Chain A
Amino acid sequence: MQLPSAAGWNHKNEGKNMHKHIVRLLTLIAVIAVVALSAKTFFRADTFYQYGHYRGASVAQIAAKTPQHQGSASCQSCHKEVYAEWSSGMHQKAHKDGAVVGTVIKSGVNCEVCHNGPAGNHPSKEPMPLSIEDQVTTITHTRKEIHPANVTDRNLMRDPEDMRILCTTCHEKMAGRPLRGKVEGANVPVQAVTDVVGVAGVPQVVIEGHGGSELCTACHNPHSPRINFAAVPRPPVDPNTGKAIPASAEPAGDVAAGKATAVMCAACHVIGGPNPDPSWPSLGGQNAGYLVASLKAFKAGDRKSELMSPMAQTLSDTDVLNVAAYFSQASCNTSGGDKAKAELGKAKAAESGCAACHSSGGLRSPGKDGVSAARAWPNLAGQNAVYLTASLKFFKDGSRNHAVMSSVAKTLGDSDIDNLAAYYASASCK
């Protein structure tokens, strides 16, 4: 059997030319190898392979970057007042110190949780030093919120909308958030864990039913968020210094001028005695802040009354302050109410948590019931029962609106309202 001769001829030819081919190829490989070897020698970093297949010097370079978050302690040296406020409040109480309580690590809300961006090299006005990584490509953060001295308009989150978003970031009730005092999987009684700092969960609120259109800061001080009723509403903050403006700096009404203006009020709102119509509130000794807010609401139409709205229209802003100052220092009058109903009303008031706002001590340490500690909220003690009943019903049916009162009134039945009105009407206003 013969194979095709063409195949044999090809093999012969290949064999003859092969050596030249190999020599050429080997030369090429040798040249590539030499070039590669020299390239490796010349271009490889000195510390490559020092610790492994990487540049050993890069470890120290990465570690040399400047930290941006400085911790709460760095704020203390300058912001002493705010730091003191914070360090005595709930946000610090669970302050992180790395300690372990039971099976959990202590936690806390320190300055940079809310005041982000990080402190960086604040308070220096110089731009932040660039990190090693940043030297590759300079990155410019355009965030207006960056804290604080590196930007000209020191925006310390005083934008009200910003503040509500900030608080609800942690405190909005949301599926998946552990409830306070409840540690999943941990066999700790709820009563015990609420006293231990740093247990799982944070207080959570359903935004729609909590505070309504009010800002969180109207009642809560973000540095120490448990409500201090004596300080509600929180005093306004000076945008330049960041410090609270003392109450004495707020415009106060002139009592004498108020008395002159109040002549036209006195026909209905009698000082030291009952009003001609018990459905009209007695104003003697009422909180000035509440009176100002009410008159302004009548004037602006936020609160409607056939009698009061036209009266309020005639008052200037100064008149409002003066009249409020006059009535707030006038003596009060206890109108009195049905004793049997008042007993029932007392129990209902305790159940509904009225004392949280309408008591001089707040919910945890009740003081004089019916006397509101906050200047913005009305005193109820001694007020006309008919007026109180009507007000609660207005809140309930929506003809008068208030963030907190509207939602509270919806939980009350007609008899509850009667009883509560009797209770507060018979409470001593002195």
Chain B
Amino acid sequence: MTTQDTQVEKEAGDLSRRDFLGMLGKGAACAGALVGTGSALASAGAGGAHPLGGVGPTFQQDEAQYAEAVKNPPKIPNYNWTQHKWAFGVDADRCIGCLRCVEACKMENSVQMDRNHTRTWVERYAYLEGSNHALVDSIHDIKNVLPGSKETRFKFDNRYKDNQYNGQKVEKAFFVAKLCNQCEKPSCVQVCPTGATYKAVDGPVLIDTKYCIGCQYCVQACPYGARSLNHDRGTAEKCNWCYHRITKGLQPACVEVCPTGTRIFGDRMDPESPVSQFIRNNKVNVLQPAMGNYPNVFYKGIDKEVF
């Protein structure tokens, strides 16, 4: 065989392989487009998302879909979701860690009653004298569950009696309420493979339990640990600011039972709503702003170690 022959044969072989791969690629692309996972395409055209909220298409919603949302809003009595932009405030200076919010949430939303399944929870941060690191505990700690109560009733253990812990003085301590941040750019929505979770036009990130397959990608995607799996239903569980209450003019259950006014809720579109006043009158921040999720829960009085 000559060198020339070999070259010709080699070229022919290369061409065929390239054709083959090319056709395979095109075929796959066609099939992909036909099957239409949609989310990939939608996220490519997600330029309409308003990172700081306001009127307009939400995350992964194109202009046409937003126009439909304005024209034919969901059939909720006496409620139009384009006229509200909900937000939440947490005034950590006022929280006493009574955990009434946790129990109220569980009963309002039929969350599993044990300490490992929560939509909202409260954390306690304590700094011992001379330490830069906080000791953090939450209701996931069995000591913060009332004894003999089958993990259904919660009360913070008084482990820092007389501001002492193992002979060391507690320099600073505070409680922080945590819940879903209903981000403007929610990671959980981005990873959901079935379209079971989405950003509603009025703010909350909702879960369609009928479409949720319990794969828990969203649980891992959330940088705030706000999601869990409801092992009773087999679907993802998260706070939705009591969407069934706020669309009826009520406050979320945790806000309703908070005895100290730590939890503040309202409509950003109404400049006189409690949350608008809270944000206007206080210096607030959000958790982990560097994650780029643009959270909608605004905190006052938290320390650098809270995230």
Contacts and interface: CB of A to CB of B under 8 A. Distances in A.
A is bound by B: yes
Interface of A: 1-3, 5, 8, 11-12, 14-15, 18, 21-22, 25-26, 29, 32-33, 36-37, 40, 48-69, 71, 94, 96, 98, 100, 102-110, 112-113, 116-118, 131-134, 136-137, 139, 141-143, 146, 165, 168-170, 172, 174-178, 183-186, 198, 200-202
Given A2-B1, A67-B245, 20 more contacts: A22-B23, A51-B74, A56-B74, A59-B76, A60-B74, A62-B208, A62-B243, A69-B253, A104-B94, A116-B104, A116-B107, A136-B209, A136-B233, A139-B112, A143-B152, A165-B155, A174-B97, A176-B125, A185-B301, A200-B93
B292 interface: no
5 contacts: A8-B5, A52-B199, A63-B243, A63-B247, A176-B125
Contacts of A64: 76, 244
B260 A202 contact: yes
B74 A170 contact: no
B209 A109 contact: no
A61 B211 CA distance: 13
Contacts of A165: 146, 155
Contact of B173 (A58, A176, A198): A176
B257 A113 contact: yes
Interface string B70-85: 0010111001010000
A380 B131 CA distance: 53
Interface in B268-287: 274, 277-278, 281-282
A139 B1 contact: no
- Most chain B CB neighbours (cut-off 10 Å) among A8, A68, A106, A146: A68
Contact of A8 (B6, B152, B196, B211): B6
A184 B92 CA distance: 10
B124 A103 contact: no
A36 B30 CA distance: 12
B81 A59 contact: yes
A177 B244 contact: no
B277 A100 contact: yes
Given A3-B1, A15-B12, A137-B232, A62 B31 contact: no
Contacts of A102: 281
Contact of A60 (B28, B75, B95, B155): B75
B278 A33 contact: no
Contact of B31 (A36, A69, A172): A36
Contacts of B91: 104-105, 200
Nearest to B207: A62
Contact of A98 (B16, B260, B274): B274
Contacts of A202: 96, 259-260
Contact of A63 (B2, B211, B244, B274): B244
Given A5-B1, A133-B209, A54 B9 contact: no
Contacts of A170: 96, 98, 259
Contacts of B9: 8, 11-12
Interface in B157-187: 158, 160-161, 163, 170, 173-175
A169 B74 contact: no
B250 interface: yes
B122 to A, nearest CB: 10
Interface in B111-127: 112-113, 124-126
A87 to B, nearest CB: 15
B130 interface: no
Contacts of B206: 58-59, 62
Interface string B181-221: 00000000000000111111100001111110000000000
A176 B175 contact: yes
B100 interface: yes
A64 B301 CA distance: 35
B264 interface: yes
B42 A52 contact: yes
Contacts of B278: 100, 105
A97 to B, nearest CB: 10
A55 B112 CA distance: 25
A177 B207 CA distance: 34
A40 B94 contact: no
B249 to A, nearest CB: 10
B259 A131 contact: no
A176 B261 contact: no
A102 B266 CA distance: 17
Given A18-B20, A118-B108, A176-B124, A49 B65 contact: yes
Nearest to A168: B155
Given A63-B76, A169-B155, A106 B261 contact: yes
B126 A175 contact: yes
A293 B163 CA distance: 38
Contact of B274 (A48, A100, A134, A136): A100
Contact of B158 (A40, A98, A172): A172
B126 A26 contact: no
A118 B247 CA distance: 19
A110 B103 CA distance: 15
- Most chain B CB neighbours (cut-off 10 Å) among A100, A133, A176: A176
B3 to A, nearest CB: 6
A50 B68 contact: yes
Contact of B282 (A58, A94, A103, A136): A103
B233 A137 contact: yes
B56 interface: no
Given A69-B256, A133-B209, A201 B96 contact: yes
B228 interface: no
A224 B293 CA distance: 45
A60 B80 CA distance: 11
A102 B262 CA distance: 15
B233 A33 contact: no
B307 to A, nearest CB: 18
Interface string B1-43: 1110110011011001000100110011011001110110010
A103 B264 CA distance: 12
A178 B266 CA distance: 24
A117 B278 CA distance: 29
A103 B301 CA distance: 13
B258 interface: yes
A60 B76 contact: yes
B156 interface: yes
Contact of A134 (B6, B12, B110): B110
Contact of B13 (A1, A15, A106, A177): A15
A98 B256 CA distance: 10
